[in-house]
Amino acid sequence: MNLPGPGDSSNMSLKLQIAASDPLKTEADLLVLSCTEKGSAAAVAAIEKATGGSLKELVARDDFKGKKDQRLLIPTMGKLPAAHVALVGLGDGKTTDAGLRVFAAAAARLAVSEKARTLAIAAPEGVGGERLRFLAEGVVLGAYRYDRFLTGERRAKRVLGAATLLLKGKVSPADKAAVTLGQAVGQAVTVTRDLQNDPPNELTPAALAQAAVKVAKEHKLKAEVFDRKKLEAAGMKLFVAVGQGSVNQPHMVHVTYAPPKKAKKKIVFVGKGLTFDSGGLCIKPAQGMGDMKTDMSGAANVVGLMAAVAALRPDVEVHGIIGCAENMPDGAAYRPGDVFGSLDGKTVEIINTDAEGRLVLADCLAYARNLKPDLILDNATLTGACIIALGNNCSGFFATSDELAEQFASAAKEAGEQFWRLPLLEDLKDSLKSDVADLKHTGDRAGGSITAALFLREFVGSVPWIHCDIAGPSLSTRAYNIYPKGGTGHGVLTFLRFLETLA
């Protein structure tokens, strides 16, 4: 059996084009048209006229009114060059950038489920130029599949190979550039998803580090790898402690994007990359361990983000710190009661070996601070408590100032991703006091996401800082919005949007 390696993906082969063409004269396995609630009857009538048939039954059956996300799938029986037409509702038609992305993702997802090889999407009324980027992103995100390990009968015989965005009038160079950028951004998110979905026997810390290096090379970014020896030499004792119970050695990667012009700002993104979190000696129950191959989602987000940044080329110096380790029980594993120093200098008493993420992050944050950035943003599948607080589809975030929090919250909103601010409650700091070291790394069960954030804050010094707890939305049990079942890449688009507001 000859399987592709970690990070190799069939999602890079989708051909995405743009053309000035009349939708009803366009050949495709599936043609997707949008309509508003007001324009729904007219859109139906236009298809009836073109096909010479009646859609009365079908419209009544689906109660199709052009409401947001409502869809009507129509076989054209050879009456149109397209084999199927789908009408997708846009509601009042006031589509945001994120709304365009969801629309295009719905179209692509429909194409995949209908086994279409070719898809044509008519750009909604008035959408052209820069905003075509979001349609392109949506197509790539909606068409996402993870099929590395599917063989024989389980391999799809018909895959979506080409998608075309249809424009009225002429296609300008700006239109083309927007589609190219959107495709690159969409593909960057699929890199993240592939890494999330890769199994932990293959995606070891070294393999995740290699994947980060590969992305850096492809995009001509600088990458420095820290293996265990180098991590030890640097003094990253907490990071090494987490990884010492696994035969798969810890690694860190530092990727750098330097803008062509002088940078307006320097920002460091940090990601938790636990390729598997068994809990260590404080081992998790089987039920809680099942999803822990995606405990590297924060790191995967940073890898994908760096690819997107390379495509976007903002006037900001961007650093990505990818902290990779595996948390295993073993004779060499770290234990409750252990005390370790850290890159920052503070000593930490280990309480629960399952609170490993904050230890890896603590050293990565101290490393990030030494780069003297204007801002540090970390993201991690850090606490189950965050899922209890906000549910499965919303991330928590913490910020060191209200201004920063507002800026980040708007970026998330514009990106169409759910993030909700949680407070850094000072009085909970008491629970991190240790009798034998400067700090304990866990507090009480109550407020678990907050005490984790307060612990991390000890390592960022006075640098403005945002911490995102993505434990819930990084993985999904179903497809929704732009997200597939499995690894979602939730966060990448928000971080990218946030960067754009800084540039």
Where on the chain is the footprint of Mn ion (CB under 5 A)?
277, 354
Binders of ligand BES among residues 424 to 443 (CB under 6 A) are: 442
Active-site residue, 284 included:
yes
Q: Which of 323, 296, 322 is nearest to 307 (CA)?
A: 322
438 vs 453: CA distance, rounded Å: 16
CB 395, CB 409: distance < 8 Å: no
328 binds ligand BES (CB under 6 A): no
Q: How near is the Cβ of 490 to ligand BES at its closest, in Å?
A: 12
Query: What DSSP character marks residue 263?
Result: P
Q: How near is the Cβ of 486 to ligand BES at its closest, in Å?
A: 14
Residue 442 binding result from Zn ion, ligand BES, Mn ion, none, given CB thresholds of 5 to 8 Å by partner type: ligand BES
User: Three-state SS string across 472-485, please?
Assistant: CCCEECCCECCECC
End-to-end C-alpha distance for the chain, whole angstroms: 47
Question: Which range touches ligand BES (CB under 6 A), out of 25-33, 353-361, 395-403, 484-492?
Answer: 353-361
Q: Residue 20 has which token pair? A: 């000035």
Q: Which residues bind Zn ion (CB under 5 A)?
A: 274, 277, 295, 357
CB 279, CB 354: distance < 8 Å: yes
Among residues 6, 124, 273, 448, the one that binds ligand BES under rule CB under 6 A: 448
Nearest residue relative to Mn ion (C-beta): 354
Question: What are phi and psi for residue 285, nearest 5 degrees?
Answer: -65, 155
Q: Return the number of the residue (382 or 492) whose C-beta is nearest ligand BES.
A: 382
- Binding mask 251-290 toward ligand BES (x if CB under 6 A, else -) reads --------------------------x-------------
Q: Residue 270 has which token pair? A: 């940090």
Nearest residue relative to ligand BES (C-beta): 384
Helix axes 297-312, 205-218, angle to 10 degrees: 10
Among residues 342, 381, 400, 488, the one that binds ligand BES under rule CB under 6 A: 381
Active-site residue, 61 included:
no
Q: Return the number of the residue (10 or 442) whose C-beta is nearest Mn ion.
A: 442
Q: Residue 392 has which token pair? A: 């499965």
354 binds ligand BES (CB under 6 A): yes
270 vs 288: CA distance, rounded Å: 25
Q: How near is the Cβ of 457 to ligand BES at its closest, in Å?
A: 16
359 vs 350: CA distance, rounded Å: 9
196 vs 340: CA distance, rounded Å: 30
Among residues 343, 471, 482, 499, the one that binds ligand BES under rule CB under 6 A: 471
> Sign of torsion, CA 188 324 218 2?
negative
196 vs 144: CA distance, rounded Å: 13
Among residues 166, 270, 355, 364, the one that binds ligand BES under rule CB under 6 A: 355
Q: Which entry of 133, 193, 358, 497 is annotated as an active-site residue? A: 358
How many Å is the Cα radius of gyration of the chain?
24
CB 300, CB 249: distance < 8 Å: no
205 vs 243: CA distance, rounded Å: 9
Q: Residue 91 has which token pair? A: 């509601």
Q: Return the number of the residue (179 or 300) whose C-beta is nearest Mn ion.
A: 300
Among residues 175, 356, 363, 417, the one that binds ligand BES under rule CB under 6 A: 356
Q: How near is the Cβ of 227 to Mn ion at its closest, in Å?
A: 23
Q: How near is the Cβ of 467 to Mn ion at its closest, in Å?
A: 16
Contacts for 33 with CB less than 8 Å, ≥ 6 apart: 23, 43, 47, 85, 86, 87, 88, 122
Q: Return the number of the residue (258 or 283) whose C-beta is nearest Zn ion.
A: 283
Count Cβ atoms below 10 Å from residue 133 Cβ, excluding itself.
24
Q: Return the number of the residue (213 or 422) whose C-beta is nearest ligand BES.
A: 422
418 binds ligand BES (CB under 6 A): no
Q: Return the number of the residue (352 or 407) whose C-beta is nearest Mn ion.
A: 352
Q: Return the number of the residue (354 or 458) whose C-beta is nearest Mn ion.
A: 354
Q: How near is the Cβ of 293 to Zn ion at its closest, in Å?
A: 11
Per-residue burial over 107-119, b if 16 or more Cβ lie within 10 Å, else e, is bbbbbbebebebb
Question: Which range touches ligand BES (CB under 6 A), out of 111-119, 168-176, 245-253, 382-390?
Answer: 382-390
367 vs 371: CA distance, rounded Å: 7
Q: Which of 196, 300, 309 is nearest to 259 (CA)?
A: 309
Q: How near is the Cβ of 212 to Mn ion at its closest, in Å?
A: 22
Q: Return the number of the residue (376 or 385) whose C-beta is nearest Mn ion.
A: 385
Among residues 383, 400, 481, 494, the one that binds ligand BES under rule CB under 6 A: 383
Q: Which entry of 284, 346, 429, 457 is annotated as an active-site residue? A: 284
Q: Which residues are catalytic?
A: 284, 358
Judged by the rule CB under 6 A, the positions of this chain that interact with ligand BES are 277, 291, 295, 352, 354-357, 381-385, 442, 448, 471
